[in-house]
Amino acid sequence: MNLQSDVTVTREYGGYLPLELPKGQEYYRGEHVVALNSGRYAIVYALLDGGWERIYLPCYLCRTVETAIRRLAPHVDICYYHIDRQFLPMNVHPKERECILWVNYFGIQPETVIDQMTEIYKGHLILDHTQSFFSVPRDHVYQVYSCRKFFGVCDGSYVIGEGIRKRPLEQHYSSAYFAHLIQSHEHGTNHAYRLNKENEMRLNNCGMGLMSSLTRAILKGTDYFSVRDRRLANMKTLHGILGPYNELQIQALTPAMNYPFLCPDRSLRERLVASRIYVPQLWRETAENEASSQWEKYLSEHLCLLPVDQRYGEADMYTIGQTVLELIKEEQAVYETQFYYTMLSERTYDPAGDRRDRVQDEGTAGVCL
C-alpha cells in the first residue's frame, strides 16, 4: 500500500478544544472600515489617511492621543482649542490640509448637532465616537469607535471613512493580555484591576496594529442589539433618578459609555469608589493643565461617569442612583453643620445684644420693607 500523499496539511487537527465563541458578524465591517488595536491609533490612522499637516485637539482630552500623534505622525502640527458649555469647539477654523478632532463627549450629543458639525467641518473632521459606539457613521468625515469601552475585550477600535486606504500594518495579538477579563468572571473586576492597568500600559507602548483575531472573534459573537437596548434603558432609568440634580443638561439619551453626572461635590467620585461604585476621571491631566479653561477643569474635577453597561439592570440603576443621592445629601449636611459652627465661632456672644436682635426681628416680622 502506498502511504504517500500529495495533500498538504495547512492547519492543525485534533488536540484539546480551544475557547468556543458564537459566530456572527462585527457591527462595523466593509470596505470603508479599518479594524485597529486602539482608539488613539485609529485617530492617527485617520490623520495620516487624510494627509493633513495640522490637527486641532480639544484641551479636554486624554493625553495619550497627543502622545500617539507625536510618535507616529511627528510631521503633524498640533494645536489646541477650548470647548463651550455645549461641548462645541470655540473659534476653530481649519484651513487647507488642516483638520479638527471633535469628541462626542459621553455620547450624549443629539444627532442634529452631529449633523451640523459634519456640515460645518466637512472634509476637515475626525469624529471621535469612542464614547458612543452606536452613533451612525456620516459621509465626508472620518469617525473613530472604541470596542474596549463597550465590550469585554482588551483591545479594538474602528476607523471609518469613504475611500479609506488599507495601510500595511502588523497583526496585533492580545491573548497574553486577556487574563484580567477571565479573572473578573470568577473574582470581580476589582480583583484584576492591576492586570487591567498593565494592559492599558501595553496599549500605550505597542504602537498601531491590526485588531487581534481573538478580539474580532469575540466581537463577531456579541449580541449588539441587546447591548444597545440595555445601555439605553439604563441611561433612561438613571436619568429619571438623577436628572433633576445633574448640572449637565442632557438633550439626548443614547446607549452611551456612561451616564455623565455633574455636581458641585468634588469629593463625590472618591466616595462612590469607597461605596464600590467605580467611576473614572476624565481627565486628570486636564485639571493639572494651566492652559485648560475653568469649565474644562471643573469637568475634570467634578464629573462622575456612572456605569450603565449591559451587566446591569433596572434594580442596579436604582441602587446607583439612590447611593449618589444619599452621598450628596450627606455632603450637604456636613457642609451646613460646618457652616453653622463656623458662624458660632466667629460671633462674640452678647446676651443683651442677642435680646435686642430678637426684639428687632419680632418688630419687623410681617412688615414689607
Where helices occur in the chain by DSSP H, the ranges are 39-50, 63-72, 111-120, 179-187, 193-206, 213-220, 224-242, 268-274, 284-288, 294-302, 314-346, 351-364
Averaged pLDDT for residues 272-297? 94
The pTM score is 0.86
For the segment 186-240, what is each residue's pLDDT rounded down to a tens digit? 888 888 888 888 888 888 888 999 999 999 999 999 999 999 999 999 999 999 9
Evaluate if residue 146 carries a pLDDT over 50.
Answer: yes
- Backbone conformation region of residue 206, classed left if phi is above 0, alpha if psi is from -120 to 50, else beta: alpha
pLDDT at 106: 95
Confidence of residue 342 (pLDDT cuts 50, 70, 90): low
d(CA 128, CA 56): 13
Q: What is the DSSP string of 223-252?
A: -HHHHHHHHHHHHHHHHHHHGGG-SS----
Question: What is the rounded radius of gyration, in angstroms, for the C-alpha atoms of the chain?
Answer: 26
Averaged pLDDT for residues 87-103? 97
Which domains, and CATH codes, for the chain? Answer: 33-220 (3.40.640), 224-329 (3.90.1150.10)
Confidence of residue 25 (pLDDT cuts 50, 70, 90): very high
